[in-house]
Each structure stands twice: as C-alpha cells, then as structure tokens.
Amino acid sequence: MSDVDRSPPEHRDPLPSAADGPGQDTTGSRNAAPVGWWISGAGRWWLLPLISGLATAALLAFLTWQVVVRGPLIAWDWPLHVYVDARQPSGFPREVLNGIASLGGQRLYTLPIVVSVGAWVAWKQRNIRPLIAIGAGLATVFFIGYWIKFSLARTAPHTGVDILHGEGQAFPSGHTANATLTWILIVVVLFGAQGWKPDQRRLRFWGTVALTVVFVSGMLMTLLDYHWFSDIPGGWLLGGLALAVSLAVLRLPVRWPVLRWPERSSPGHQGDGDRG
C-alpha cells in the first residue's frame, strides 16, 4: 500500500517524500517534478536556477564591463543609431510600432498582466507560491536593474551622444528585461512543472511564442531609437537573471501557506448563528 498522501492539491503543498517513486508528484500532474527527487539526488531543485542564474549574471557583468570600457561588443551602437535615426517611421505606422513595443515590455502594461496571471494560478492552486515567485523576479529586475542604470547613467540615443555618468538610464533596457521576465514567466506558471496545468507540449509552444514577443519588443526599442543596440541584450540578461530567481522560488521544496477559501453554503443551509 502506497504511503503517498492522496489528498487534493488545493488543501496542501506538501514537502516531497523520499518514499515516493519516480514520476509521482503531489500536485496531481504526471509532468511535475517527482516526489523525493531532491532528497535522493536524482534531481536537484536548485541546479537549473543556480546554473542559469550564474550564467546570466556573469554575461551581464561582462556586457556591463564592455559598456564601461567601450569594448568591441558595443561597437555597433553608434553606426546603428545613425542608420535608424535617419529612417524613423512617422504617423500611424510609428504609433502602431510604439503600441506593440509598449505592450511587450512597458511596466505599466506588463506588471498588471503578470500579477493577474500569478494571482489566478495561486487561486486555482490554493497556494501563494506563484505570487512569491513573481514578486521575487520583479524585485530582481527593479533593484539590480536600477543599480546598474544609476551607476552607469548612460545617455539614450535621442540625446545624440553616448556617454556614461550623464543624464540617462539607457543600460540595461528595463523595457526588455520586463518583457523577458513577464512573458516567459507567465508560460512557466501556467504550463511548467509547478504550474497550473503542467504540459510539456504547451510549454514548448507558448515558450516559443513568448521568446518571439521578447525578441520583437527588444528589437523595436533599438529600431525606434529608444535604446542603443547593446542595451537590449543587457535587458535580456537582466530578465534571464530574474527568471532564474523566480524559478528557484517555484522549485523551492518547502511547505507554502495554503490559501483556504470560505465554503459556499448549500441552498437552505443555515449557519450556526441561525440555529435555535
């Protein structure tokens, strides 16, 4: 007889048990991480977030150093600015492109979307883990992003000059970082192993769609001359670092507080206060 607790997932978010066999989970999905995997060593919950976090942090640091020393990785910034500045669209086409870029990564739009999806998944799972993961990712983008921005104070292309410690916050692109975190994290909390409905096929499909949105919104920031070209991969890396933090929270093997909703009374049922 199995010693796995078969209680519904909305009542608890249990810690994994080493007694459980591979392929089983406590959320009712066969695609979720196996129970006991982090104890047995067959899988380590921290491995993927750690590797991805260290890799993106190292690349972000390297690119930041290139901006500081005016290295070869930013050599295309000025020529590309000169090229696109002379070919800027106007009128309705520009408004459309601005709208696409804004919806893709402007915090005014991305923040309500990602928080709403996280709240909905938390409500369905009766678990605050998705909201904590989203909050951790947003905090990473905010604090690390603005630390780099204010430290470098790189001017934007529209100023006509590319200098550091001026009046600007161009590097890294917060717009691109928001897009990277928002759209990929939404797919993860919906269809990832700890998501609402774990599904590898949907995860791959919508992950590809999310990556396309991230790429397009980032490129538009350069093509519309809002950011230098090197600001965009800086934003991708910052968003990737935030994703690693969110992924670590989603995989963290702890007992999360359970959200319990009031039971609905059946018709004709009287509460204790209505008796006698």
Provide the pLDDT confidence category of residue 11 given band limits of 50, 70 and 90: very low
DSSP secondary structure, 104-132, as one string: HH-HHHHHHHHHHHHHHHHHHHTBSHHHH
Residue type, 130: P
Q: Supply the pLDDT for residue 174.
A: 95
pLDDT of 169 > 70? The answer is yes
pLDDT at 35: 38
- Give dist(CA 66, CA 75) in Å, integer: 10
What is the structure's pLDDT at 255?
74
262 vs 266: CA distance, rounded Å: 12
Q: How confident is the model at residue 262, as a pLDDT?
A: 57
Range scoring the smallest mean pLDDT among 125-129, 133-137, 204-208: 125-129
List the helix and strand counts (H, then E) for the chain: 9, 0
For the chain, how big is the Rg over CA atoms in Å? 23
Above 50 in pLDDT, residue 246? yes
Look-up: residue for tokens 């963290």? Answer: 252
Report in angstroms the alpha-carbon separations of 16 from 11, 58, 154: 15, 32, 47
Contacts of 33 (CB under 8 A, 6+ apart): 25, 43, 45, 193, 194, 251
- Per-residue pLDDT of 218-242, as tens digits, reads 999 999 999 999 999 999 999 999 9
Give the model's confidence band at 263: pLDDT under 50 very low, under 70 low, under 90 confident, else very high: low
